[in-house]
Amino acid sequence: MALPDLAAIESDARRDLAAAADAPALDDWRTRYLGRKGILTALLRGLSDLPQADRPAIGQGANQLKRALEAALTERQQERRRAETEAQAPAATSIDVTLPARPHPQGQLHPVTLTRRAMERVFREMGFDVVEGPEVEWDTYNFDRLRVPRDHPARDMWDTIWIDPESPEDPAAPLAQPAPRRLLRTHTSPMQIRYLEAHQPPIRVVVPGTCYRYEATDAAHEWMLTQIEGLVIDENISFPHLKGTLESFVHRFLGPGLETRFRCDYFPFVEPGAELSIRWGDRWLEMLGAGMVHPEIIEAAGLDPERYTGFAFGMGVERFAMLRYGIEDIRNFYQNDLRFLQQFRGVS
């Protein structure tokens, strides 16, 4: 039997491959040369019919040729796909730059963000630092260390969205300290404790941030609200500093003509406590809670309460935004109605 001419097979195969112009032709080519009944498979199957001495060289050559033709096929297929993609893509010169552009909606800052930033600017001008704290908080910071222990009725002042469930009381150790639980902070006041852990007086800081309360909404209350906490600790700080700072802030931020009202209020972490309201038409809108930092909190921070005193406050940013923009109902802010929000485009 004549020996197969591998060089001739290769040259035929490469010529036919170059001539195969589309996918079906390439498939036919693969069947003819590389398929189960193709030329190379037949050649390899027929090796046993060849003289013993020629089998290794022909077998090796046939296998090399098979791999080379497979690689050539892959390359040809990629080449063809590239050509097809290029043929489908519009030529650069066919783009009509005079066609009208599709409008791309531009984002804008939310009115509460605008208000929060503007309030921060005023506080910076007044010499305050601005820091932020965690929204997911431990009950120890949100309550206990602010003198609101477990089972204290004052916890009802802040309806809470809990993250960790309450662990059942251990009947074997009913007085055991329950494990700390995480919650969504109900106010920014826990940052008073966190800040005091890491800083020494003189302290003058504000902490803006989102808070959450499990409470019914109405025209002045949302379940998600923004507060700005303030903390001032130094020697010789007294209630007139608190009053002067807050009145100065309100008049710088909202204008000098506003009527403000301070009244007594109760917060376990201050003594005395107060709230500040602003006259709005024929009603008063409560803007913030405040007070002189309780001496026990100063002492727990490792400071001498005889030497250091201070005041703190927590402002409702949405309430300031309501007065700033004349919004009657706080619920407008978070309904995501674009007709409402777009009115603040370009507003600072």
Catalytic residues: 158, 187, 213, 227, 270, 312
For ligand YSA, the closer of residues 123 and 313 by Cβ is 313
The whole-angstrom distance between residue 241's C-alpha and the CA centroid of its chain comes to 37
Site membership for ligand YSA, residue 141 (CB under 6 A):
no
CA distances from 302 to 143, 190, 239, 295, 296 (A): 19, 17, 22, 11, 10
Among the residue ranges 21-29, 120-128, 171-179, 307-315, the one whose residues contact ligand YSA (CB under 6 A): 307-315
Among the residue ranges 48-56, 74-82, 160-168, 221-229, the one whose residues contact ligand YSA (CB under 6 A): 221-229
Site membership for ligand YSA, residue 206 (CB under 6 A):
no
DSSP helix/strand/coil, 291: strand
In the complex, what is the shortest distance from the CB of residue 218 to ligand YSA, in angstroms, rounded to a whole number? 9
Q: Figure out which of the listed residues 29, 319, 323, 333 binds ligand YSA, where binding follows CB under 6 A.
A: 319
In the complex, what is the shortest distance from the CB of residue 183 to ligand YSA, in angstroms, rounded to a whole number? 14
Site membership for ligand YSA, residue 270 (CB under 6 A):
yes
Site membership for ligand YSA, residue 253 (CB under 6 A):
no
Asked if 202 contacts 160 with a C-beta cutoff of 8 angstroms, the reply is no
User: Which residues, listed in sequence order, are joined to residue 234 by a DSSP beta bridge?
Assistant: 309
Distance, CA of 138 to CA of 218 (rounded, Å): 28
Exposure of 299 in the CB half-sphere (CA atoms within 13 A): 7
Subset of 278-297 contacting ligand YSA (CB under 6 A): 286-291
For ligand YSA, the closer of residues 16 and 234 by Cβ is 234
CA distances from 219 to 198, 282, 318, 322 (A): 38, 15, 11, 10
Asked if 318 contacts 111 with a C-beta cutoff of 8 angstroms, the reply is no
Size of site (CB under 6 A) for ligand YSA: 24
Residues constituting the chain = 348
DSSP helix/strand/coil, 322: helix
Q: Figure out which of the listed residues 207, 228, 312, 327 binds ligand YSA, where binding follows CB under 6 A.
A: 312
Residues that bind ligand YSA (CB under 6 A): 187, 189, 213, 215, 221-222, 225, 227, 267, 269-270, 286-291, 312-314, 316, 318-319, 330
